Chains A and B, each alone.
Chain A
Amino acid sequence: MMAVNIYVPADSLSIALGADDVAKRIAEKITKKAKQCSSSNFNITRNGTRGLFWLETLVEVEIDGCRVAYGPVRPADVDDSFVEALCSGSDHRLSVGLTEEIPELKCQQRLSFARLGLNDPLDITAYQDCGGFAGLRQAIQYSPQEIVDEVQSSGLRGRGGAAFPTAIKWQTVLDCQADQKYIVCNADEGDSGTFADRLMMEADPFCLIEGMIIAGLAVGADQGFIYLRSEYPRAADQLLSAIAIAIEKNFLGKNILGSGRDFKLQLRIGAEAYICGEETSLLRSLEGKRGMVSAKPPIPAISGLMGQPTIVNNVITLASIPIILAKGGAFYANYGQGRSKGTLAFQLAGNVKRGGLYEFAFGMSLRELLTIAGGCKNGKLHAVQVGGPLGAYLPESLWDTPLDYEAFMAIEAGVGHGGIVLFNDEVDLAQQARFAMEFCAAESCGKCTPCRIGSTRGVEVIDRIIASDSAQENKQQIELLDDLCETMELGSLCAMGGMTVIPVRSALKHFGEDFKVGAK
């Protein structure tokens, strides 16, 4: 009798939903059953996650080479009849059919996340069986300039939110003469509504590591750092294990795969400071200092970590590199539209029916995506915040905007890293605007006045707007808020203060009724 292969996810979310208990109960039940009828042996693989969060814990079984899925499975659902159905892939009230045929997965274009949830994330053999390290092997054949050219032809732009062309950064570092260059991965995924970086690090960590090694080969850097936020303890564990395995298999360390090239990689942990997601602040933190933002120029590509030329790229940017090298820049650039090439891992969050990771080529409308995700799980969808806490709140009239960088800029918003938070009609946008200012006040590094003081004044002004009992006072305070937003936008050193005005202004512009006298 063939072994039955069962998969139970083990990312932070599924574990929080009870996946460890689910796995344990399945193992107990099958062991008991096997004793009774002396039949099948079985393997339970703790895979990453498919990113279909509304179905977590999504338990799968492999039948005739196809994966059959059940979800959402809670520990209490794991009874004899469930295990019976699971072992034969047969029908059950929690059946969702073949995993590959789940509509919300089938319609996606997963490039960076092609391997998500297929295997044990730390199984380096399985990683290679699914295309892993093909990009690195190609890169080893290339000259540094050829690697950068490939990235250039992919049209890849920074996935952390700023959308800066990745190849320009790399070319700058490549062209610098220096004894020491660094690759720094910005894994300080602090924005609410985002979890793509977390998923990559927990569920496909070798992909990030591979991207960083390629970056090192491209610009002549032999040292990399991953700066990870401390709010992600499981990502830290996974990365540490993955780095150790990669060293053991000679993908990291000296003379990688006999190429004559070296690359060392270290994990560093932040300490709960949102501002450290800003690249200059992150570099100071890596240097063991306060995470103070510094003025640019000099840009980190020329004078970064310890004053040396440094690539600072977001997790998904770096994790997109392997497929670009493996399949070619042109393959990647074939996805997307205009100047927004390739795919973006959209993250559907907040009050959402089918929340999770949705990787698509740029260009579909926000409304299409919201429809696939099923809208709100409770109440009527009213406002959508795109691109994190520094992103705009958008009303229904703007949901037909195509998801690409330029189209969103045109409506004074940003796609950012693709985090999308849904709110129902109970949300009070004046309170959300107030929170944007409060958050900025709590997390500002304090270096520049518009951000440090402006955010505190912003909270006060919005409080006065909310409390105002005459139309005249309300109008005066709103004018004051407008003025303050302009100061913060133009006078702040970095995006923290400069972009805090985006949620505030969008709330005011599109949901002005929430700011009126006597509203809510």
Chain B
Amino acid sequence: MNDPIKSRLLELAANFKDELGGVMPLLHQVQKQFGYIPESCAVTVAPLFRLSTAEVEGVISFYHQFKREPQGKHRIQICRAEACQANGCRELEAFSKEYLQLEYGQTSADGLLSLDSVYCLGLCSHGPAVRVDDDLFVEVGAEKLQSIVEGLNDGR
């Protein structure tokens, strides 16, 4: 039990093990602390919840938000839902992938950015909408996306 990841996971799990449906809030905490869900997570925390490793693995794999590999320092999400399509998000999607040289779900080689899609940020009158970590941007065209990314590059 000298594995620091394991001890951290157990420590976190202890906070949620008696809560109704505590696995979900636990996984959010794990992802927040580690930036992703470490491979040893399921096998480590499952017994505390009286679940099998497979059951916890199943929860992790079901939700788009839970990531199995380390992510970029910043996560850029482009809304690709209908209301944003009406305002040109298909073009923005194509541009972003080309500009960042990333597909959805990929992280840049320098570890700065991860690119993802999102289905709706509730900013539907001012699309295309983009989320960067917890910051929201609207009316994002190619130029605005470039300046957002440049801002992230400068702030590294």
Query: Chain A: residues with CB nearer than 8 A to chain B?
Result: 12-13, 15-17, 53-54, 189-195, 197-198, 230-233, 268-274, 285-291, 305-306, 347-352, 355-356, 385, 389, 419, 421-424, 427, 432, 435, 439, 443, 445
Contacts and interface: CB of A to CB of B under 8 A. Distances in A.
B94 interface: no
A272 B64 contact: yes
Nearest to B131: A231
8 contacts: A189-B122, A193-B124, A194-B120, A271-B63, A273-B62, A290-B62, A349-B124, A423-B86
Contacts of B55: 289
Interface of B: 20-25, 27-28, 49, 55, 58-59, 62-66, 81-87, 118-127, 129, 131, 134, 136-138
A435 B85 contact: yes
Interface of A is mostly: mixed
Contacts of B87: 350-351
A439 B119 contact: yes
Contacts of A272: 63-65, 118
Contacts of A271: 24, 27-28, 63-66
A355 B124 contact: yes
A211 to B, nearest CB: 20
Contacts of A305: 20
A286 B24 CA distance: 8
B64 to A, nearest CB: 4
A440 B82 CA distance: 13
A422 B87 CA distance: 9
A113 B129 CA distance: 25
A285 B24 contact: yes
Contact of A192 (B28, B58, B65, B84): B84
A181 B118 CA distance: 34
A355 B125 CA distance: 5
B114 to A, nearest CB: 13
Contact of A290 (B20, B59, B85, B86): B59
B124 to A, nearest CB: 3
Given A54-B125, A352-B125, A356-B125, A15 B22 contact: no
Contacts of A355: 124-126
Contacts of B66: 271
Given A17-B126, A231-B122, A439-B119, A349 B83 contact: yes
Given A271-B65, A291-B62, A53 B125 contact: yes
A445 B64 CA distance: 12
A198 B86 contact: no
B24 A192 contact: no
Given A230-B65, A271-B65, A12 B86 contact: no
Interface of B is mostly: loop
Given A16-B136, A273-B63, A288-B49, A53 B20 contact: no
B62 A16 contact: no
A364 to B, nearest CB: 20
Contacts of B131: 231
Contact of B134 (A53, A233, A273, A423): A233
A193 B82 contact: yes
B49 A13 contact: no
Given A53-B126, A352-B125, A389 B64 contact: no
A12 B138 CA distance: 10
B89 to A, nearest CB: 10
Nearest to A349: B124
Contact of A268 (B24, B49, B122, B138): B24
Given A192-B83, A194-B124, A289 B59 contact: yes
Contact of A306 (B20, B59, B65): B20
Nearest to B87: A351
A193 B118 CA distance: 13
Contacts of A347: 124
A441 B63 CA distance: 14
A16 B138 contact: yes
Given A16-B123, A233-B134, A289-B59, 6 more contacts: A13-B136, A190-B119, A192-B119, A271-B65, A287-B20, A439-B81
Contacts of A270: 63
Contacts of B123: 12-13, 16, 195
B64 A350 contact: no
Contacts of B126: 13, 16-17, 53, 355
B82 A443 contact: no
Contact of A432 (B27, B63, B85, B138): B85
Contact of A422 (B20, B86, B120, B129): B86
A19 B141 CA distance: 20
A421 B118 contact: no
Nearest to A443: B119
Contact of B83 (A231, A288, A350): A350
A285 B64 CA distance: 13
Query: Which of the listed residues A15, A350, A422, A427 has the most CB atoms from chain B within 10 Å of its own CB?
Result: A350
A286 B59 CA distance: 11
A351 B14 CA distance: 48
Contacts of A285: 21, 24
B125 A274 contact: no
A288 B86 contact: no
Given A53-B125, A193-B82, A288 B62 contact: no
